[in-house]
Chain A
Amino acid sequence: MAVTSVRPERIRSKRSMARARARAELTPRDRVIKFVLGAAAVVPVAALGFLAYEMFKEAYPSIVFNGGKFFTTKTFTIGNLYSTGVEVRHGYKAAKGASFGILPLIFGTLVSSLIALVFALPVSVLGAILLVERVPRRFEAPLGVFLELLAGVPSVVFGLWGVYTFGPFFARDVYRYVADLHIPWLTGAVGSGQGLLTSSLVLAIMIIPIVAATTRELVRSVPALSKEGATALGLTRSESVRLVTLPFIRTGIIAAALLGWGRALGETIAVLLISGNFLNAYPKSIFAPFSTMASTIAALLDGALTDSTGMAIHALAEVGLVLLGITLLTNFAGRLVGRRLSGPGLPVGRGV
């Protein structure tokens, strides 16, 4: 370097002196707090990284064994565990007849969670706006408590309710009449209500509290001055919602929807109970049984543990890894969309 050796050293020593002074100003108590806060800040990142790493390690044999077929085939079976033969591919063994293709599972996961979102989003947003802007103050808090209670109901309860009450009721009194209209994909056997649509509706009910509670905070953050501006123009309340409230909270709603979607993507036990657990093919209609990635992991885990080749477990780990990837990807994509939509200059309502 052409720089004289004196200057950088002096700068370096100045810097280290400054750092030393800053360190000296910290009391032992400060240092403890600093360490704890730093550790706390690292935990979420570290946990996610560790999780992804472990999943990848566990899934690795399956990734090698299946290659691209994992994503391009439809049959997911752990094979004949009682057969003496094994299948060997790329140096890894699996039970005879094993096949690991998750296309229908990806389809089921995405479609059921998206249908849930389609139902949950309008209800949540409308509910949150009504709660904040129309319901008198003194009823607002008690009504809000119901939302939080709904969020706290264990998902297995939702699952049982979906199987025994909600599903049969809808199959008998609603689905039948919809199916009779013979709209493609919205027609066919409705059975006892176990299937894609019932699962989606129950998922919708499960994510409404999350989406609505988040949206409620957004609606509360809309500046009063902007709302007054609409009122002063002689606009009605619904016009004011369209003109002021919705544009202000638009990008925040995307974030709220992502939270809900994330929950719907990963919901396991309720979907397992209601889905009808139908593997290896796409559902024939919106009423038909299906499976998701999460529900399949839960359904097959027990059997997979008895696979002496270990490949079944590896394959389920790969399903989990893909699910993790999809969840992260949808979150990331949603954030990008949110940023694009918000554009420059909006003072509030940026994605959370």
Chain B
Amino acid sequence: MVRTGNTAPAEDAVTVPDDGSGPLRDVVYDLDDVAVYYGSYRAIRGVTMQMHAQEITALIGPSGCGKTTLLRCLNRMNDLVAGTRVDGTIRYHGQDVQAPTVKPIELRRKVGMVFQKPNPFPKSIFENVAFTPRANGVPKKDLAEVVEGALRQAALWDEVKDKLKQSAFELSGGQQQRLCIARAIAVKPDVILMDEPCSALDPIATLRIEELMVNLKEQFTIIIVTHNLQQAARVSDTTAFFTTEGKEGGVLVEVAPTRKMFDSPADQRTLDYVTGRFG
């Protein structure tokens, strides 16, 4: 189902009723009053929201509002940044991800991530996808199948099936990004986090990734940070708008079904942002 040409999701495409009550889908992430600090600087605060299975949740807002910071807390990538502290609770299927019993490595196997710029590994196309499943114990005889499945799902198979042994760096930027998506899919995650996945791509490559996202949400929960409002409007089911208050850092303004967010947001700041009056 492709509906990337519209500026708002088509009526029949998404089961989001206009009353904004939201569909009855499993809660994957449940955030309660989350704030994130880098040392003494509070990058974002006041985040209370849920993210649902088989939906695309878009995080939008001006630069410096903490969207990426929030995203990177969901798979504990912020552990890599010294001095990061998270207040409030982030529950993933009911489990507090900050709990000392949670192993970040295991969490990250369930929660994949795609970055701002394509970052394929300096290996062959096949090896980019196969490495992690192999490391996770997928037997050698099944690897080819896993790789093909992931590349097909990432809509890249037909373009690369004859050159799987070539370096991943020989692909175009858009292909590389789809390879990174395939790489994430190959681990059979539950969630895919995308941090401005199209910011380094041209419009055509961007459209392909957007089509892909819409197809992938049948199986995965997708959470995307984007600066591109049209993109959020085109692909997401739920949108969360953040703003920045200078030294006070970012703050969550509102969360709503995407359609409602763009047609009749509850907050004046959201309206100003989505209509292009600010940001």
Contact = CB atoms under 8 A, between A and B. Distances in A.
Interface residues of B, number: 29
Given A228-B77, A343-B167, A233 B187 contact: yes
Interface of B: 75, 77, 80, 105-110, 112-113, 115, 117, 119-123, 131-132, 135-136, 167, 169-170, 180, 183-184, 187
A234 B108 contact: yes
Given A343-B167, A344-B170, A234 B132 contact: yes
Interface residues of A, number: 23
Chain B interface SS verdict (over half): helix
B164 to A, nearest CB: 15
A343 B167 CA distance: 8
A247 interface: yes
B77 A248 contact: no
Contacts of A235: 105, 131-132, 135
A145 B252 CA distance: 47
Contacts of B136: 234
A254 to B, nearest CB: 15
A223 B122 CA distance: 11
A85 interface: no
A230 B121 contact: yes
A234 B115 contact: no
- Which residue, of B107, B110, B122, B184, has the highest number of chain A Cβ atoms within 10 A? B122
A349 B108 contact: no
Given A234-B108, A236-B105, A345-B167, A243 B75 contact: no
Nearest to B132: A233
B183 A233 contact: yes
Contacts of B123: 243, 247
- Which residue, of A229, A230, A235, A244, has the highest number of chain B Cβ atoms within 10 A? A229
Given A232-B112, A233-B184, A226 B121 contact: yes
A334 to B, nearest CB: 20
A236 B132 CA distance: 10
A231 interface: yes
Given A344-B167, A347-B169, 8 more contacts: A226-B121, A229-B121, A233-B183, A233-B187, A234-B106, A234-B136, A243-B121, A346-B122
Interface in A200-231: 223, 225-226, 228-231
Contacts of B180: 229
B122 A226 contact: yes
Question: What are the 8 closest A-B residue pairs judged by CB atoms, nearest first?
Answer: A234-B109, A345-B169, A234-B108, A232-B113, A247-B122, A229-B119, A225-B119, A233-B132
